[in-house]
A and B are shown apart, each in its own frame.
Chain A
């Protein structure tokens, strides 16, 4: 497996927005780009495919410099958000399109179409017009069409966005299985954290045209390096704190709570930071709580309770508890957490502002 199968180092400027990305994707990897709408995910995909030209930089795919190549010379598959299926062609015609363009001989073409139809369970729909297909069927046709010419790389631009929740879950599982089976390299764009976490071998969190963090889903979720990453992937309490570094670890003085000792972390020196705590990592305790406060809101959410607790200095902490601990607004509670669950991260708001 080639680790630097795709190397991207590009900048692209817009009047209201500047995209600057350096990124490497490994061969056979399922890589996700995740971030809010307008952060530049689709622009990055378009730069890779050649639909948009970078102002500066290079894109290298499998040691081949793509930068000067046109879209049609790159051999990169693209699945569009609304699929962009050709309305004048049937399902079979859509899948055949790229093969015809490649001038693949008739027999090989038919063989490849058959393979794709079987792979995506579209055999019975081969002569159907694309307007007559359901959302899920369209999505499968779009994937089959993009994969039929056997591209070097497959780009997927929020392909599940138009589907309902149940179908989305089923299709993303199928997509992951397919990618594992066929072993193609894919870059997947989504603004849904759940999709990114469940599908990706690795993912990159983007905001305002920059990549803030790259890593496996578990790494990025557990060890966010930026407050935006912490809050975008899952829910997070970000508590302003001051940190003192010592031989036994980091002494953290959180706003509205008691000081505590956390394990050392590389790059954390004395100064102001944010203490990141996931709501599910906080628990109720009467025995030496770090925070004490009053429950402001409490919602029953089926598998437990979601609550907001006001601690010292007007700070509100989010909390998730199990069914066994019914919560009532107005109640005073104590909160603590396992030291391993807490992360000290730099206050990076200014990075985004730039």
Chain B
């Protein structure tokens, strides 16, 4: 009798837990999507909404923004992939010394805050940048210079800077998963190198190329910081236009409509991206042992690879390096003397005047915001990932990836309408940044949970561990690196965010990104590069933390070729 009572109680408890388990993701979704629904409601559920929408779709402004956004996103995706492909070949087909380190470093540009990338590009490729000073030295008196940074191709160049390394890494990893034996099989069936590439390798890479293309297109299409600074009023993405309509012109209806139109376009891109991702996953093999790279036996290949590495270094690391160098130069000028003045000026009134706050408040605000966002996002994402194992809910996962397809500005903007009057700006920013970081952090932790540890947990349970004891003794040590990595991503995304702070901070919350943005806006370049350098160091630190966790999930086993 007693036993029956106990089992009934256990059954009820289990039901209650299952109920709670379903409630949690739904609550989370509500927090994510309510602001979006507010924007959609404002766009479509009001008088004159549809006529206005149709009129907007026919307007020159819409066409101009659409043509620009699509064009720059298309070219950014094309160039990122075209530049990544040759490097991916070396990464995907050979073992060589330093490959692991090089692969790790490739994530760095992706971790950098948008405003820092813009700063680095301005310092290096800008009108008075390093690149132009080199051109002038190379061709004295010929007045040769690169003037395109503040324009269409400058924006494309910056997006390529942002995305190329990420594409290279992902493509290289995909290539590693195409067994070299497929090429051999093709050769034994009579196919030459080009035919094999065309008929076997390219079709196998195609889904990944499509996926990455869609991803870069999406990021570039949604680009805010880069276009805001480099595009001025001449070039605008939907994001920038929404920001201008709302923040400068105070036209909420117009901004809602823009956001809604953008969401429809994004849904199409996301559908394509998801399709390519499924295709790519379906063909995913295991990593095969790769042959060592032998430069002596392949001198032509070695030559091209070295050229490629040098070119990539020039393209990526020199701009960042020159931010660092110029931060120690008088007035931030290349010909200036070495000095610490730029750093000292960060504590001065000039800084306070340009930025609107003193350095310590800016750094403190940024860190508090970033740490809070990192922590809360990691906890929420981990709880969800844990439940994902217990309660398979299939397509619900897709909804948690959807924040990627909702423009961040749209969200921030909906949030402001929803809770702008009841919550302080700092809380609004935290809410928005959790939304921003969640898809990436969740997908990282979900993969970690899937790949590691169910058997260990089961083993610990058979040995009597349960509840907190199980968590602290087995689960946490196993997940520690993934959690650290997820946390670092959350912190990095928060630190790098500019749009949410601009929209939701209402000028009262000033973070490092906002400070650099304002310093650039006020042409305080010496201080901008000094602050940028501190910012880069912070990003590198976070990157190291991410890499430590990532190694387990991204690294591939390598061994000798079979005899």
Name A's B-contacting residues (CB within 8 A). Answer: 14, 17, 38, 40-43, 49-51, 70-72, 74-78, 80, 82, 84-88, 97-98, 100-102, 131, 145-146, 149
Contacts and interface: CB of A to CB of B under 8 A. Distances in A.
Contact of A145 (B187, B189, B195): B189
Given A72-B188, A84-B184, A84-B185, 6 more contacts: A17-B563, A38-B563, A71-B184, A86-B204, A88-B200, A146-B189
8 contacts: A70-B187, A72-B190, A78-B184, A78-B185, A84-B179, A101-B195, A101-B199, A146-B188
A82 B185 contact: no
A74 B184 CA distance: 13
Contacts of A84: 179, 181-182, 184-185
Contacts of B190: 72, 75, 98, 101-102, 149
Contacts of B364: none
B521 interface: no
Contact of A87 (B191, B199, B283): B283
A345 B58 CA distance: 95
Contacts of A74: 188
A86 B187 contact: no
A85 B200 CA distance: 11
A86 B562 CA distance: 20
Interface string B523-563: 00000000000000000000000000000000000000011
Contact of A86 (B188, B195, B200, B563): B200
B192 interface: yes
B46 interface: no
B208 to A, nearest CB: 12
B177 to A, nearest CB: 10
Contacts of A71: 184, 187-188
B195 A43 contact: no
Of B184, B186, B190, B191, most A-chain CB atoms within 10 Å: B190
Nearest to B207: A88
B282 interface: yes
Interface string B268-303: 000000000000001101000000000000000000
Between A42, A77, A88, the greatest number of chain B beta carbons within 10 A of the residue's beta carbon is seen for A88
Contacts of A41: 563
A99 to B, nearest CB: 9
The 8 tightest CB contacts between A and B, nearest first, are A98-B189, A71-B187, A78-B188, A84-B181, A84-B185, A101-B190, A88-B203, A87-B283
Given A17-B563, A97-B199, A87 B285 contact: yes
B185 A72 contact: no
Given A87-B283, A88-B204, A82 B186 contact: no
Interface in B166-185: 179, 181-182, 184-185
Contact of B283 (A43, A72, A88, A102): A88
Contact of A101 (B191, B203, B204, B282): B191
B282 A86 contact: no
Nearest to B204: A88
A86 B185 contact: yes
A70 B283 contact: no
A131 B185 CA distance: 17
Nearest to B191: A101
Given A38-B563, A87-B285, A77 B181 contact: no
Most chain B beta carbons < 10 A, residue from A42, A80, A146: A80
A23 B187 CA distance: 24
| Centre residue among B185, B189, B563 by max chain A CB count within 10 A | B189
A147 to B, nearest CB: 11
Contacts of A86: 182, 185-186, 200, 204
A100 B189 CA distance: 10
Contacts of A145: 185, 189
Nearest to B284: A87
A334 B563 CA distance: 46
B562 A42 contact: yes
Contacts of A17: 563
Nearest to B195: A101
B192 A70 contact: yes
A102 B189 CA distance: 9
A131 B282 contact: yes
Contacts of A75: 190
A131 B282 CA distance: 9
Contacts of A49: 188
Contact of A80 (B185, B203, B204): B185
Interface in B130-187: 179, 181-182, 184-187
A76 B188 contact: yes
A145 B190 CA distance: 12
Contacts of B283: 87-88
A42 B563 contact: yes
Contacts of A102: 190
Nearest to B178: A87
* Most chain A CB within a 10 A radius of its CB, from B184, B187, B188: B188
Most buried by B among A38, A40, A74, A97: A97
A97 B563 contact: no
Contacts of B185: 78, 80, 84-86, 145
A40 B562 CA distance: 10
